[in-house]
């Protein structure tokens, strides 16, 4: 397949940002070439991230719910786990979605090439395929090659017992004892999966909180649940060494202010964040500029310092989230096709798909306090929601942060089952500039968890009847 090609727009990376960019550009009439190093489209998100992890999290959540039914008078026997069947189920979901993207590329006439792309210049790429080199010249290029799990020094990264989010999802076995290094989103999600499947899970986090940066009131219900599910949660603690043993286990030394402990784990999952894949592109042959962490610098149009080359998604900076990448991909495709577009959003939502889910959008209380931004808050505890109580989700909470003057929504935080779906209404409120009355006066269906969003606004306005709030405002 050696040869040369030209494309009006080349997209490198077929993840949620890359394929969105390719398809949008194609829909705008451009001749598009989509390159990915994997045989299947969809990137990390679809093949080794969001989607397979959600397939497993669904299983662990249902397993947990069956246990909670005991309190409601229904008991099941011990679950039997067929690891091979679970893997097959997960793989089927992935291949179904990936096949869908391949199909959509076909009907749009988006040409795809499997191979690793490296830059030769500001207008040329080399693609290393199974069957040889292909040289591609382009008018515009969109880089969407994403990120890779970061490692920490002192950990034998190649040891089979050392997992990353990617290998953890392969579900090779259920280790008896699993140590998760990193109490962030990925660590907690996968920790919960392995705990449900029978591992004794410990989490070690360097900072004093789980989900660092998230408002503590939203983390608290999750943390309470994890305490029951996990063997231990070690905060403000540091892994100083991971030593392989002859039997395949790992001896891990953890330091904190109480001293140093050494324990043996069957496996260690390193989930300390991700780093951009900018080192794989031979960017030195271009004039593309990066920051010190390896993120490609981009402007509001997602153009790099080379104006015909765009960068989107994880490689273009935080937050490393699929929905941010998708939106950026469309912006880049539109600008590259000569349209007026810009990355002009008020907020990007974050969701932790644990049980309970944690979701937030816009301003957080931590951010507001750090930056001296004044806000007022409306909160609704799910303990006052009929639906939440019926579901056994009375630990949940919905809160909205308002601008003290305009009463417009600045931020939303939700914890509880379905928080990730409910945050969308908060996003819409932020983008539309909705205020407390707009939300409170919108009729929400009963009984749902969604009505807690209106209730939080009403609690703020003082018009709520499902709570009693001593009179200090309202009509």
Site map 244..283 versus other proteins, x via CB under 8 A: ----------------------------------------
Report the candidate in 36, 8, 7 with the shortest Cα–Cα distance to residue 313.
36
DSSP-assigned letter for residue 363: -
Tell the smallest beta-carbon distance from residue 355 to other proteins (Å).
Answer: 32
Site map 425..454 versus other proteins, x via CB under 8 A: ------xxx-x-------------------
Distance CA 439, CA 428 (A): 11
Between 62 and 345, name the residue whose CB sits nearer to other proteins: 345
Crossing angle of helices 451-461 and 419-432, in 10° steps, is 50
Tell the smallest beta-carbon distance from residue 308 to other proteins (Å).
Answer: 7
Residue of the chain from 227, 339, 369, 446 that contacts other proteins (CB under 8 A): 339
Query: H/E/C letters for each residue in 112-165?
Result: EEECEEEEEECCEEEEEECCEEEEEEEEEEEECCCEEECCCCCCCCCCCCEECH
User: Which of the residues 327, 444, 446, 475 is marked catalytic?
Assistant: 446
Between 303 and 397, name the residue whose CB sits nearer to other proteins: 303
The footprint of other proteins on residues 277-316 (CB under 8 A) is 299-301, 303, 307-308
Q: Give the binding-site size for other proteins (rule: CB under 8 A).
A: 20
Instruction: Centre a 10 Å sphere on the Cβ of residue 469 and count the other Cβ atoms it contains.
Output: 14
Site map 341..360 versus other proteins, x via CB under 8 A: xxxxx---------------
DSSP assignment of 212-253, as one string? TTS-HHHHHHHHHHHHHHSSEEE-S-EEEEEEE-TTS-EEEE
Q: Is 465 in the site for other proteins (CB under 8 A)?
A: no
The answer to whether residue 446 is catalytic is yes
Tell the smallest beta-carbon distance from residue 6 to other proteins (Å).
Answer: 10
DSSP assignment of 44-82, as one string? HHHHHSHHHHHHHHHHHHHHHHHHHGGGGT---------
Site map 405..424 versus other proteins, x via CB under 8 A: ---x----------------
Distance CA 289, CA 334 (A): 22
Contacts with other proteins, residue ranges (CB under 8 A):
299-301, 303, 307-308, 335, 338-345, 408, 431-433, 435
**Residues designated as active site:** 446
């Amino acid at each position: 397949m050696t040869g040369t090609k030209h494309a009006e727009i080349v997209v490198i990376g077929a993840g949620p940002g890359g394929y969105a960019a390719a398809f949008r550009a194609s829909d705008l009439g451009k001749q598009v070439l989509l390159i990915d190093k994997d045989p299947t489209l969809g990137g990390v998100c679809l093949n080794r991230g969001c989607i397979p992890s959600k397939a497993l999290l669904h299983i662990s959540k249902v397993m947990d719910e069956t246990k909670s039914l005991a309190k409601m008078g229904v008991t099941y026997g011990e679950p039997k786990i067929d690891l091979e069947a679970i893997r097959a189920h997960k793989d089927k979901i992935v291949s179904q979605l990936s096949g869908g993207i391949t199909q959509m590329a076909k009907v749009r006439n988006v040409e795809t090439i499997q191979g690793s792309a490296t830059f030769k210049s500001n207008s040329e790429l080399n693609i290393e395929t199974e069957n040889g080199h292909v040289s591609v010249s382009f008018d515009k290029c969109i880089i969407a090659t994403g990120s890779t799990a970061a490692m920490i020094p002192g950990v034998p990264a190649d040891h089979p017992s050392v997992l990353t989010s990617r290998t953890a999802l392969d579900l090779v076995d259920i280790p008896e004892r699993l140590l998760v290094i990193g109490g962030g989103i990925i660590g907690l999600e996968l920790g919960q999966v392995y705990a449900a499947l029978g591992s004794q899970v410990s989490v070690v986090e360097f900072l004093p909180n789980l989900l660092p940066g998230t408002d503590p009131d939203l983390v608290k219900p999750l943390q309470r649940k994890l305490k029951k599910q996990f063997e231990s949660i070690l905060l403000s603690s540091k892994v100083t060494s991971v030593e392989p043993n002859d039997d395949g286990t790992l001896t891990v030394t953890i330091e904190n202010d109480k001293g140093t402990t050494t324990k043996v784990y069957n496996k260690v999952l390193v989930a300390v964040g991700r780093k951009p894949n900018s080192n794989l592109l031979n960017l030195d042959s271009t004039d593309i500029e990066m920051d010190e962490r390896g993120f490609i610098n981009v402007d509001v149009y997602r153009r790099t310092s080379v104006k015909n080359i765009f960068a989107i998604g994880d490689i273009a900076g935080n937050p490393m989230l699929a929905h941010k990448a998708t939106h950026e991909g469309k912006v880049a495709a539109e600008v590259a096709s000569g349209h007026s577009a810009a990355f002009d959003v008020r907020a990007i939502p974050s969701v932790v798909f644990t049980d309970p889910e944690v979701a937030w959008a816009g301003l957080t209380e931590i951010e507001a306090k750090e930056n001296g931004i004044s806000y007022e808050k409306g909160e609704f505890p799910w303990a006052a929601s009929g639906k939440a109580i019926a579901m056994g989700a009375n630990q949940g909470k919905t809160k909205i942060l308002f601008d003290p003057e305009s009463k417009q929504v600045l931020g939303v935080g939700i914890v509880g089952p379905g928080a990730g779906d409910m945050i969308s209404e908060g996003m819409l409120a932020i983008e539309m500039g909705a205020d407390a009355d707009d939300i409170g006066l919108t009729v929400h269906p009963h009984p749902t968890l969604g009505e807690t969003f209106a209730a939080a606004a009403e609690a703020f306005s003082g018009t709520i009847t499902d709570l009693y709030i001593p009179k200090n405002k309202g009509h």
